[in-house]
């Protein structure tokens, strides 16, 4: 049986701005080398590499996936897997918030812009009458999809009389290589800046 690819719930946090930011860092790195190699260029390049890594980690790495019976929240330096059956509540305000087994988990990959939150509140609160038809936004669709999948998974497990799964319902894995590279670049930048200052 072939393994099914995880279902990716598209991010709402500005992929284009992340790509633009990394492109800008590359241009700055090239610009620093135009006049030839200078004594302080190593510190500049290490700092720019750290900036590019952080832009990637903050803007481009976060994603929400549905992988079989798990909800996967990949954040800056960690990945959290949550059994869909354990999801108690899901809500998108400033960021995606998932409540599972009494723990509150967050993902910056799915968010709702402040303007949209304000407009939704104004539509229901200030007019004094029932609002007209409102088209659901992408964060609304993500909320309802995760809720539906969690309910379906609980129902499936109940119908099958599934045995208790020994795997914890919420598992966090740190991306240690990414953390190590970020720390190394930070130390290199600081050391080279002090050396050539």
pLDDT in tens, 39-66: 889 999 999 999 999 999 999 999 999 9
Identify the weakest region by mean pLDDT among 74-88, 104-118, 152-166, 176-190.
Answer: 152-166
Give the angle subtended at the CA of 131 by the CAs of 129 and 137, to the nearest 5°.
160
As a whole number, the mean pLDDT across the chain is 86
Beta bridge partners of 8: 65
CB atoms within 10 A of CB 95: 18
Q: What is the model's pTM?
A: 0.81
**Which pLDDT score, from 0 to 100, does residue 138 have?**
87
Which pLDDT tens digit goes with each residue over 15-43? Answer: 899 999 999 999 999 999 998 888 889 99
Q: Looking at per-residue confidence, does 21 or 116 come out higher?
A: 21
First to last CA, the chain: 60
| Residue 153 CB-density burial (10 A; 0-12 exposed, 13-18 middle, 19+ buried) | buried
Q: Residue 26 and residue 80: Cα distance in Å, rounded? A: 31
Exposed e or buried b per residue across 158-169, where buried means at least 16 C-beta atoms within 10 angstroms of its C-beta: eeeeeeeeeeeb
**Which pLDDT score, from 0 to 100, does residue 60 have?**
92
**Which pLDDT score, from 0 to 100, does residue 31 have?**
94
- In which band, very low, low, confident or very high, does the pLDDT at 115 lie, cut at 50, 70 and 90? low
Which pLDDT tens digit goes with each residue over 71-98? Answer: 999 999 999 999 999 999 999 989 999 9
Q: Looking at per-residue confidence, does 6 or 170 come out higher?
A: 170
Which residue ranges make up each domain of the chain?
7-196
**Which pLDDT score, from 0 to 100, does residue 1 have?**
45
> Shortest CA distance to 85 belongs to which of 24, 180, 184, 159?
159
* Mean pLDDT within 190-194: 93
């Amino acid at each position: 049986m072939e393994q099914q690819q995880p279902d990716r719930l598209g991010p709402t946090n500005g992929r284009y701005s992340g790509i633009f930011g990394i492109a800008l860092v590359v241009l700055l790195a090239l610009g620093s080398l135009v006049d030839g190699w200078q004594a302080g260029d190593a510190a500049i390049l290490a700092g720019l590499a750290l900036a590019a890594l952080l832009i990637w980690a903050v803007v481009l790495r976060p994603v929400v996936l549905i992988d079989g019976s798990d909800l996967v929240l990949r954040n800056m330096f960690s990945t959290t897997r949550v059994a869909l059956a354990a999801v108690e509540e899901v809500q998108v305000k400033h960021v995606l918030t998932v409540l599972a087994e009494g723990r509150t988990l967050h993902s910056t990959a799915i968010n709702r812009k402040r303007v949209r939150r304000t407009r939704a509140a104004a539509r229901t609160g200030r007019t004094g009458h029932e609002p007209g038809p409102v088209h659901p936004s992408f964060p609304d669709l993500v909320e309802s999809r995760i809720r539906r999948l969690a309910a379906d998974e609980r129902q499936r497990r109940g119908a099958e009389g599934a045995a208790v799964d020994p795997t914890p319902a919420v598992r966090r894995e740190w991306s240690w290589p990414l953390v190590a590279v970020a720390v190394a670049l930070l130390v290199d930048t600081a050391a080279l800046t002090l050396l050539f200052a």
